[in-house]
Amino acid sequence: MADYILAIDQGTTGTTVALMDSTGRLRASVNNEFPQHYPKPGWVDHRVDDIRASVDKGIRGVLRKGVCKASEIAAIGITNQRETALLWDRETGEALNNAVVWQCRRTTDFCETLKSRGFEKTVRRKAGLVLDPYFSASKFRWLLHNTPGIRRRLDAGRVAAGTVDSYLVWQLTGGERHVTDVSNAARTSLMNLKRLAWDSELAELFEVPLALLPEIVPTSGTLGHTRGVRGLPDGIPIAGMAGDQQAALFGQACFGVGDAKCTFGTGSFIVMNTGDELLHSHAGLLTTVAWQLGEGGRPVYALEGGAFICGAAVQWLRDGLKLIRRSADVEALAAEVEDHGGVEFVPALTGLGAPHWVPEARGLITGLTRGSTRGHIARATLDAIALQNADILGAMEKDLGRRMRPLRVDGGASANNLLMQIQADVLGRKLIRPQVIETTVAGASYLAGVGIGLWRGTSDIRRIWQAGEEFRVRLSAPARRRRRDSWETALERTLR
């Protein structure tokens, strides 16, 4: 009986492929990393072939675990790094350039030009997003202006544009389907949030021909079928697809209005379910689509705030400063000291995201003395991750006009107990970590399972989801205020 879901989680630094059974239990997973490329300061690229190879290798690797046969896979769910933009040839499937990664700031000048011409209100009103190089539209424009031989291919109608989800479906279906789901389309600056359709005014503004873009489809439901995928039979339905943060929100069973989660990955992202209300932020947050279950289903909207650098700050301690050998070592190193010792690290290594939106900001370490140690820098790094999230949460509460419920946390860095305790302390909120912390994988699996009727919507998913450890606030309110004041002083220096 085919009752396993194959989940593909294509992330910024690697790809995880996992198998979930019909009870909602994750039975196996493999992860394959791939290199990042930094051709200029502030630029971040991926080789598209590296992305594809990591997915292919992951599919073969998870099947070698022997949990099930390929013929027992009932559906495939996809979740992906959002906003990363790429172009490929419709006839050959060949990538036409490197993918421009969501972290990349190469289109800052163009976005600033649009701001100076007064177009930010238009983008916010229609797409729910700020004018920032973070989002896909300006990246598509850059690729169209800077890819050798693009004009000849455009004239021949051979160019396809899309985010990573679109590219993966194209490859998995043997080029039969060029689609993106509403959650990924909502992150391009090209989709009208009310109509869930590409907007011709926005496309003209960013100089992106609509003919290049994929069809927009729901997050759950049959989106295509496998064809010619090594190791998999033809005909497996691809039945769920969502951007990583929306997949995590679904995977955390945040189905009620006001439910929120924070994913600690390369960046950290807080997303809050606002139901069918399209709530525009007045505090620097983004309005986005969380999901749409089935053709004609009502869209669920969300507010989101993201810090570009979270786990990437720890990777920088490892690879850039050589302070630790493994990312996991940061917890023990930070625990060597009682607190940050006055050291502040503002990890604006690729600019600042919500709620500040300063793409030209650069990182800062301040407060160093002769008594400062490696431990203080490590502790300041964990503090910075938590404090960035606290800033986002504060902005979110302003928009809501009320306090949030306990925050659900997930992602690789949520396994760091010290970081989770710091987060609870600086937020002044209880944190709940689920038993399965890789909720992007879970969300993609749930969406695919719902898409084929394996589970009957969100009510079944609520029963599957299980809470794990809780982290309660230990820091007093005055101490929390002092810690936040010290952070804000350092942040102001970065923003000058």
Residue 451 in tokens: 């898409």
Mutual angle of helices 439-451 and 244-251, in 10-degree steps: 80
Compute the distance between CA of residue 334 and CA of residue 422 in angstroms, rounded to an integer: 11
Residue 413 pLDDT: 86
CA–CA separation, 410 and 397 (whole Å): 21
DSSP-derived secondary structure for 26-77: EEEEEEEE---B-SSTT--EE-HHHHHHHHHHHHHHHHTT-SS-GGGEEEEE
Give the whole-angstrom CA distance, residue 366 versus residue 342. 8
**pTM of structure:** 0.85
Q: Digits of tens for pLDDT over the chain (496 positions)? A: 568 999 999 998 899 999 999 998 899 999 999 999 999 988 999 999 999 999 999 999 999 998 899 999 999 999 999 999 999 999 999 999 999 999 899 999 999 999 999 999 999 999 999 898 989 999 999 999 999 999 999 999 999 999 999 999 999 999 999 999 999 999 999 999 999 999 999 999 999 999 999 999 999 999 999 999 999 999 999 999 999 999 999 999 999 888 889 988 888 888 988 888 888 888 778 899 999 998 888 999 999 988 888 888 999 999 999 999 998 999 999 999 999 999 999 999 888 877 887 878 899 999 999 999 999 999 999 999 999 999 988 888 888 777 777 899 988 888 899 999 999 999 998 999 998 878 899 999 999 999 999 998 899 999 988 889 999 999 999 999 999 999 999 999 988 7
234 by DSSP, 3-state: which?
coil
Q: Decide: helix, strand or coil at residue 18.
A: strand
At residue 259, the pLDDT reads: 86
Give strand pairing partners of 270: 262, 305
The two three-digit tokens of residue 115, written as one number: 């701001």
**Closest CA relative to residue 454, chosen from 64, 73, 70, 132:** 73
Quick one: DSSP state of residue 323?
A: -
Distance CA 352, CA 375 (A): 25
Strand order in the sheet with 159-163: 45-46, 99-100, 85-89, 159-163
Is residue 305 within 8 A of residue 261, CB to CB? The reply is no
Taking the C-alpha atoms of residue 247 and residue 89, their distance in angstroms, rounded to an integer, is 28
**The pLDDT value given to residue 282:** 81
What's the pLDDT at 103?
87
Work out the angle between the directed axes of helices 136-146 and 108-116 (0-180°, nearest 10): 120
DSSP, residue by residue, 270-300 = EEEEEET-----SSS-EEEEEE-BSTTPPPE
Distance separating alpha carbons of residues 205 and 193, to the nearest angstrom: 17
Beta pairing class for 344-346 and 179-181: unpaired
- What three-state secondary structure class fits 332? helix
Q: Which amino acid is at 183?
A: S
- The answer for 140, left when phi > 0, alpha when psi is -120 to 50, beta otherwise, is alpha
> What is the per-residue DSSP string for 308-321?
S-SHHHHHHHHHTS
Reduce the DSSP state of residue 210 to 3 states and report it. helix
